[in-house]
Structure 1
Amino acid sequence: MTRATELSATTITKTRDPDRIADRARNVIVEQVGLLYSQATSGLIVTLLCSILVVAVLWDVAARELLFGWFSFIAFITLGRYLLVRKYRRATAVVEDINRWRALFVLGAAAVGVAWGLAGTVFFSEGSVFHQVFLAFLLGGIVAGAAPYLASVISAYIAFSFPTLLPFAVLLIAKGGNVYPFMGIMVLVFASAMAATGKAMHVTITRSLQLRFETLESIDQISNAKIDVERTNAELQAEIEEHKQAHIALHREKELAQVRLESIGDGVITTHLDGTVEYLNPVAEQLTGWLDADTRGQPLSNVLKLIDETTRQALPDPVRFCLNEGGSVRLPGHTLLIHRNEDRECSIEVTAGPIRDRDLQDVGTMLVLHDVTEMRGVARKMSYQASHDALTGLINRHEFELRLTEALESARNDDRQHAMCYLDLDQFKIVNDMCGHVAGDELLRQLAAQLQIGVRETDSLGRLGGDEFGVLLQGCPMDKAKAIAEGLRQIVRDFRFAWQERVFEVGVSIGLVPITSESGSLTEVLSAADSACYVAKGHGRDRIHVYQPDDTILAGRHGERQWVSRIGEALEENRFVLYQQKAMPLSDKAERRAYSEILIRMLDKNSEPISTAAFLPAAHRYNLMPTIDRWVLRAFCAFMRGVQGSSQTDIGLYAINLSGQSLSDERFLDFVVDQLRQNSIAPENICFEISETAAIANLTRAMRFISVLKDMGCLFALDDFGSGLSSFAYLKNLQVDFLKIDGSFIKDTANEPVDYAMVEIINQIGHVMNILTIAESVEQKSVLVKLKKLGVDYAQGFEITKPTPLNEYIEAVPKKRLSN
């Protein structure tokens, strides 16, 4: 057997390797199913939108019971498909169960197709040509629109399209007459055409995936083919009698290599040992802007202009790099390729490997150019989002701590000196309380931009959380650090925030900590900065305090334990007051009963109210919430006892918040029962709000707590619903009367389709379970309009009403009724 025959046999064996073919086929199936699930979310949203359109158009011509039933059916299927998609994305053993995942998706597609097929038959209106045409175009449009989405698995597309169109076509043919049968036949023709189109798309997608999986294998075969060609050329000198056969084999291998080079998805360039270009495949032509014929014999540096993405400096010659290393190499860092016209750039990964002859001598190199522009753009965006605060654009706490750690290491290892400023805004809560969180967020954005002006390019300004900022001053002695800190304080002091014809001033308390070789750990430095900031606040706010080692006791007194003692004093001196915030009824069911949430405010020594955001975190941290919850319930029951004894008998429903700590207290349930009985409180006027996270964390006790008090007549609301990962799974275990939809979904309902869909789903599920829904954090009129459209029962937030003292609200109730 000649060398050429051996080469051909080896190539055929590799191509027909049964295991490799089976693996490639399985990989194609996995990718096809992955395409289905990756595009499923948009398909689900389109399904819901189209079903809403059907209900709206057919509202006056179809039986509403049928419309509601059909819409509930398709919504139920869509929810099931959504849960399937979410389970798939979290699954870890997708490949092993790929056939099951494919079958489940096909089943879901078939179910949706059946639902649309029902719509075409059940809602067919014989008396309205418009509605008949609407159904025909809607069903045809849905089937046509689903082709790109479902064609990756043709069985899914067939399972969806045929149940959608066939019932409608059969109905038209069965109607008889001159027009309907023709229309039915046209629908069947359309269905067949779409099936053929879907099949063609499926074949295209499958072939594209097969080519992708063949790329790496092809590159390897190309390299081997090149070696074999060179070896064959050397053997030709000694095998004169086999010259003709060897020449034919060599030509065949060259043609095969050429076809593969031109068909793979990466750019390929081959060069001679001196670095001159030998060949460019079509992809390399597109990336570089050069034609293959124009590059023959040109230096590689003229054709392939590579620079570092970060430094913009030219990168070393990949040919020299490869030959010096003696094997395949990949250029380090992030590489940019400059187009020939210098009008665009693309991010690439460059792999270079030597081409060797039969004697393993280097005869050239092969460069593979993999375009990663899109992937690197996504990576940059994800990296930015992971290290920056979404609201202000500053670095976030995690990134700030990383840079602070590096500064600590340089201080210890290189004896460098740095400093850190811890900034806590003064009077920020006033803006939040008076104008709402939208105004507070805008203030933070504007102030962050101002603070950027006051730091150097080498410094790091970050948002550490809430209204707290951090500044890392690199290579900065304390005198300079004090000057920068004073500049930042003055910037905040001079800043004026305008909102709705109001102008606000804020100040800032700054804790300044030196970072030297003797500084402690990251936690110790942050704690020292926080302590120094608390000292600044304790000394009158709007000032700077430089941390000293002997500040620990003072900072501790004014920091971690400050609110503990203040809360204790307020409890002893009865300096807590009850507020209420009313929820606006939006539905007929809600109109039957007013709903108000009981809130708490702490008064300072001057009887000025303190926002809960100031002291409740400390109360949670130091396990003071059961004491506060008892005070609230005791005070409210005493107040209600006096109200129920007056002429104001119909006072509505009042919701009292309970913490997770109180739910964990075994004695708290008995305390609640005793208070209600001792004060003769009508249980039907009381609703207890329990946060979703607290209920799930104490599920068993929460279920018993709810069961006992509901038997007495009390009502329950599940607060912040949707914020947890298992909201729907636990909902059926909790016998609640109200769902308070988490404000994170409500704020952007008017602008974000995903938030709108989540609110819609939560509201529908609540109503299916006979639970009234309440939207929190309603701060815009546009959001209120959307909530009314969705059928949410109550709305609560600054757009509706601000919290007011409870006694003032009760006194105004009769007047409100008269005005109504």
Structure 2
Amino acid sequence: MIHPTTTTKDSGEAWDALEPYAQVIRSLMPRAAAVVVFDGDGQLRWSSETTTGPDLVGLIDETLFAARTDHASPGTLRLLAGDVPVYVFWIRSNAGQLIAIVGVVCRAVGSAEGEHRPFSFVHSLLRPALECLRRELIARAAIDDLSNTVTTLDRDLALLLAEFAGPRGGNGTDGADDLKAILQSATEHLGCPLAALIVPEKSIVQMRTHGENPPDRQLVARTHRQLLSMAQMRREPVIINQLQTGSAALQMPYRILSCPVRHASGRVMGVLAVFRNEAAPAFTERDARLGDVLARRAAAVIESSFDALSGLYTRPAFEQRARAVLAGADRNARWSALYIDSDQLHAINDNFGMHVGDSVIGQIGELIRRRLPPGAFASRISGDRFAILLPSAPEDAATFADSLREGVERLGAAQDNSRLHVSISIGVAPVEPGSVELTHSLAAAEMACKAAKDRGRNRVEVYQTADVSIVRRFTDINIATRLRAAIEEGRMRLYAQLILPLGTVGHDRPHYEILLRMVDEDGETFGPDRFLSAANRYQLMPTLDRWVIEQTIARLRPHRELLASAPAVFAINFSGQSLNNEEFADFLLEQIEGSGLPPELFCFELTENATIANLARAEVIMRRLRRIGCGIALDDFGTGLSSLSYLRQLPVTMLKIDGSFVRDILKDPRSESMVHAIAQLARAMSLATVAEYVETEELRSRVAALGVDYGQGFAIGRPLPFEEIMEELPVLAAASPVCCPVEEALPQLRTGSAY
């Protein structure tokens, strides 16, 4: 008899509805007392009785080894206590794999009934029923597998739709929540108790656990260096189902799927790793594909929410994060906003090139990331300006700010070039208790930062209500007042920057762009980024434009004999404000025609946006200048929205490709394609092209290969005082033709910024 126990039958879909087979077996074997079915691992799946004794379960366990090793045998006869016969049948798949064990328990045979029936006889008797059962189990297993596959595909599709259904990062979100959701998807869809996202250059280390007994998070700390190195080397998902290492320190009972997080350029910037216990199923190619999808999504979120140069939040993501944090903060908590502006970055760009300036911005961003206390976060809000939200009172925030200022000051000292001085000015302002918006606090911090600049730079100022009028006076009036004084007192200076032919046939004359500098009362020279904003705001641009034109012609007139053959071209900018002045066109023509200089000597530059905004006036003045022989350049080409539709209409002779495209051509295929397309378009229209911000020899070679005619920037020449350019006129006049040798004749020329 079968002795009762707590073991009960456990059926799955493939093991349901086996009662008919039990009835068939009983009809063929009237002595059958019970029918039980175990799976290939010896687990009870179905029983005709409500309970099954441990003696029967133990007997089945004993037959497992024989079932797995003796593939030719269909089963065996075993006896339970009390001389109870159990006929054990081994059910195999078409491939010979053990898929089930059927046990038929019969009543004990009395002495008058003779011996038990032999196994071969019972097997031949039940073979048709067992074969039907075999086919039933195989079919049901196939259906279950198909159902699981469809379910898995549905879940995969749901994952893809969830990840790509809508934009993330920078659209009402700061990106952090999106990254958490991606990690949650990784743990749930890939069936992993631990997932980690590590992006060192953005200071991102996020982890997500799943299940009741997740792994220790120290597992990530122990493996992150190896995973990052492997991502850098392999650049594709990697499956580690069995860790092969001789180091006991690195041995761990986990399977790992590592997926690189790639920048849009293809550069690996981090890794998404998921972990499974070694007893869990091995990772498959399907898992790798899903992991790669999640890694790509994480990269998209990071790129839209984090600034590429500094690794800090973008401004929209920063503002969204601030709103979320302040809305959930305790009303009595103290918060402070910091506004950071680098000092004289334009001087670094002028003297060392834009690439050095970008490097400084990146180093400041890295320093901010490393110094941020818990709960604080930061953003590069524009150009060389940064913002930080600190969970502290203004007094403590000022202490932090001063420590940050000292750290930035040491960045310059760490450079090889002793002339590179780096510093920042910081404004600190409190966030009003209960406020959920950062706008007013950040504006106050910005005013305090500007006060720090006006009071000597490289310092920290805390916003005080009593200082508001002073800060406003400095920011709105002081620069314009100083600019007017500089014009009246003769403290404006002309500079020129070389624009060199890149070897294209038909373009052999060098150009010089006329630039403007202001000298303050202390003798310090400032670039246009310090005063052009005030000049535009207070309508001083027409005055500056006329001064530049008059002074350029006055400096060139004494050299008109050398310039009679126009050995060079001088490019002069004028603004949209001058374009709107009805008297400006007549003034300009009178200056040129009365100068005694060949009109071919001049090329006048208008920005693309100013031209499109004043199209009718621009076309009139351009045609008048072209009729007398002057050149016309469209500056910052590629930044306007409607330039191509008007290009045929305007009599321009040169396109100056905006530096934002040129600087990125070595790392951004789209920028390279844009420059190449502009060069081809210009050539088809018989227009010359200039690439701005050519900061390195590699850039210079590349823009030349793309078909650009002229280059301007660090690799060509830096801005020099106009008088020094005039000293080279004899060389320019004697050179025939003037091409690349001009650069060899002027070895002292370096680089600078554009006026």
1:512 match: secondary structure: strand
Counterpart Cα distance in 2 of 1:748 and 1:346: 30
- Describe the shift of the 1:408–1:314 C-alpha distance in structure 2 as closer, same or farther (beyond 3 A): closer
Name the aligned partner's letter for residue 367 of structure 2.
Answer: Q
Name the aligned partner's letter for residue 261 of structure 1.
Answer: S
Deviations, residues 680-733 of structure 1 (Å, cap 9, x unaligned): 453222111112222223223322221222122221011122233444333222
- Describe the shift of the 1:254–1:668 C-alpha distance in structure 2 as closer, same or farther (beyond 3 A): farther
Instruction: Map 1:747-766; keep pairs closer than 5 Å.
Output: 747-750=663-666, 752-766=668-682
1:540 match: secondary structure: coil
Instruction: Map 1:586-605; keep pairs closer than 5 Å.
Output: 586-587=502-503, 589-605=505-521
Match for residue 527 of structure 1 among 435, 443, 465: 443
- Describe the shift of the 1:400–1:561 C-alpha distance in structure 2 as closer, same or farther (beyond 3 A): farther
In the alignment, which residue of structure 2 is the partner of 1:573?
489
Counterpart Cα distance in 2 of 1:661 and 1:591: 32
Q: Is the 8 A contact 1:683 1:712 kept in 2?
A: yes
- Describe the shift of the 1:562–1:651 C-alpha distance in structure 2 as closer, same or farther (beyond 3 A): farther
Deviation at 1:313, TM superposition (A): 3.4
Match for residue 736 of structure 1 among 621, 637, 652: 652
Instruction: Map 1:531-550; keep pairs closer than 5 Å.
Output: 531-550=447-466
Q: Is the 8 A contact 1:478 1:514 kept in 2?
A: yes
Deviation at 1:815, TM superposition (A): 4.0
Q: Is the 8 A contact 1:425 1:507 kept in 2?
A: yes
Deviation at 1:597, TM superposition (A): 0.9
2:384 is aligned with 1:472: no
2:319 match: secondary structure: helix
- Describe the shift of the 1:785–1:497 C-alpha distance in structure 2 as closer, same or farther (beyond 3 A): farther
Counterpart Cα distance in 1 of 2:294 and 2:254: 20
In the alignment, which residue of structure 2 is the partner of 1:786?
702
Deviation at 1:594, TM superposition (A): 2.8
Name the aligned partner's letter for residue 266 of structure 1.
Answer: T
Counterpart Cα distance in 1 of 2:519 and 2:509: 31
Deviation at 1:342, TM superposition (A): 4.3
Instruction: Map 1:362-441; keep pairs closer than 5 Å.
Output: 373-409=291-327, 414-441=331-358
Q: Is the 8 A contact 2:682 2:689 kept in 1?
A: yes
2:568 is aligned with 1:656: no
Counterpart Cα distance in 2 of 1:491 and 1:432: 21
Q: Is the 8 A contact 1:629 1:659 kept in 2?
A: yes
Match for residue 444 of structure 1 among 345, 358, 361: 361
Structure label with greater radius of gyration? 2
Instruction: Map 1:222-237; keep pairs closer than 5 Å.
Output: none
Instruction: Map 1:187-198; keep pairs closer than 5 Å.
Output: none
Name the aligned partner's letter for residue 720 of structure 2.
Answer: T
- Describe the shift of the 1:499–1:784 C-alpha distance in structure 2 as closer, same or farther (beyond 3 A): farther
Q: Is the 8 A contact 1:513 1:528 kept in 2?
A: yes
Deviations, residues 6-59 of structure 1 (Å, cap 9, x unaligned): xxxxxxxxxxxxxxxxxxxxxxxxxxxxxxxxxxxxxxxxxxxxxxxxxxxxxx
- Describe the shift of the 1:255–1:724 C-alpha distance in structure 2 as closer, same or farther (beyond 3 A): farther
Deviation at 1:425, TM superposition (A): 1.9
Deviation at 1:591, TM superposition (A): 5.0
Name the aligned partner's letter for residue 685 of structure 2.
Answer: M
In the alignment, which residue of structure 2 is the partner of 1:456?
373
Deviation at 1:414, TM superposition (A): 1.9
In the alignment, which residue of structure 2 is the partner of 1:625?
541
In the alignment, which residue of structure 2 is the partner of 1:295?
none
Instruction: Map 1:482-501; keep pairs closer than 5 Å.
Output: 482-496=398-412, 501=417
Deviation at 1:533, TM superposition (A): 0.9
Deviates more, 1:260-269 or 1:704-713: 260-269
In the alignment, which residue of structure 1 is the partner of 2:691?
775
Counterpart Cα distance in 2 of 1:573 and 1:315: 76
2:636 match: secondary structure: strand
Counterpart Cα distance in 1 of 2:534 and 2:290: 49
Counterpart Cα distance in 2 of 1:602 and 1:549: 32
Counterpart Cα distance in 1 of 2:394 and 2:670: 49
Counterpart Cα distance in 1 of 2:153 and 2:334: 49
In the alignment, which residue of structure 1 is the partner of 2:255?
343
In the alignment, which residue of structure 2 is the partner of 1:19?
none
In the alignment, which residue of structure 1 is the partner of 2:468?
552
Identity of paired residues, percent?
34
1:706 match: secondary structure: helix
Deviations, residues 659-684 of structure 1 (Å, cap 9, x unaligned): 23333334332332233344445322
Name the aligned partner's letter for residue 388 of structure 1.
Answer: F
Counterpart Cα distance in 1 of 2:321 and 2:145: 51
Q: Normalising by structure 1, what TM-score? A: 0.55
2:728 match: secondary structure: helix
Deviates more, 1:625-634 or 1:256-265: 256-265
Q: Is the 8 A contact 1:455 1:484 kept in 2?
A: no
2:225 is aligned with 1:313: no
Name the aligned partner's letter for residue 380 of structure 2.
Answer: R
2:479 is aligned with 1:563: yes
Deviations, residues 566-618 of structure 1 (Å, cap 9, x unaligned): 22222222321111112112235455433111111111113332111222233
Aligned pair count reads: 500
2:603 match: secondary structure: strand
Deviation at 1:440, TM superposition (A): 0.9
Q: Which structure 2 residue ranges, 5 or more long, are not aligned? A: 1-135, 156-187, 197-205, 214-238, 243-252, 260-271, 273-286, 736-744, 746-755
Deviations, residues 383-411 of structure 1 (Å, cap 9, x unaligned): 21122111111112222222333455456
- Describe the shift of the 1:398–1:592 C-alpha distance in structure 2 as closer, same or farther (beyond 3 A): same
In the alignment, which residue of structure 1 is the partner of 2:27?
none
Deviation at 1:752, TM superposition (A): 4.5
Name the aligned partner's letter for residue 387 of structure 1.
Answer: S
- Higher relative contact order, structure no. (Cα contacts within 8 Å, ≥ 6 residues apart): 2
Deviates more, 1:545-554 or 1:744-753: 744-753
Match for residue 609 of structure 1 among 515, 525, 530: 525
- Describe the shift of the 1:372–1:576 C-alpha distance in structure 2 as closer, same or farther (beyond 3 A): same
Deviation at 1:802, TM superposition (A): 0.7
Deviation at 1:736, TM superposition (A): 0.9
1:761 match: secondary structure: helix
Q: Is the 8 A contact 1:346 1:371 kept in 2?
A: no
Counterpart Cα distance in 2 of 1:405 and 1:443: 29
Deviations, residues 72-108 of structure 1 (Å, cap 9, x unaligned): xxxxxxxxxxxxxxxxxxxxxxxxxxxxxxxxxxxxx
1:414 match: secondary structure: coil
Deviations, residues 511-541 of structure 1 (Å, cap 9, x unaligned): 1111132769533212211111111122222
Name the aligned partner's letter for residue 208 of structure 2.
Answer: R
Q: Is the 8 A contact 1:425 1:468 kept in 2?
A: yes
Q: Is the 8 A contact 1:308 1:315 kept in 2?
A: no
Counterpart Cα distance in 2 of 1:500 and 1:809: 30
Counterpart Cα distance in 2 of 1:392 and 1:268: 40
- Describe the shift of the 1:727–1:795 C-alpha distance in structure 2 as closer, same or farther (beyond 3 A): same
Name the aligned partner's letter for residue 147 of structure 2.
Answer: L
Counterpart Cα distance in 2 of 1:803 and 1:728: 31
Counterpart Cα distance in 1 of 2:537 and 2:436: 25
In the alignment, which residue of structure 2 is the partner of 1:261?
147
Deviation at 1:254, TM superposition (A): 8.1
Structure with bigger helix share is 1
Name the aligned partner's letter for residue 576 of structure 1.
Answer: M
1:343 match: secondary structure: strand
Q: Which structure 1 residue ranges, 5 or more long, are not aligned? A: 1-249, 270-300, 318-336, 349-368
Counterpart Cα distance in 2 of 1:473 and 1:313: 29
Deviation at 1:816, TM superposition (A): 5.1
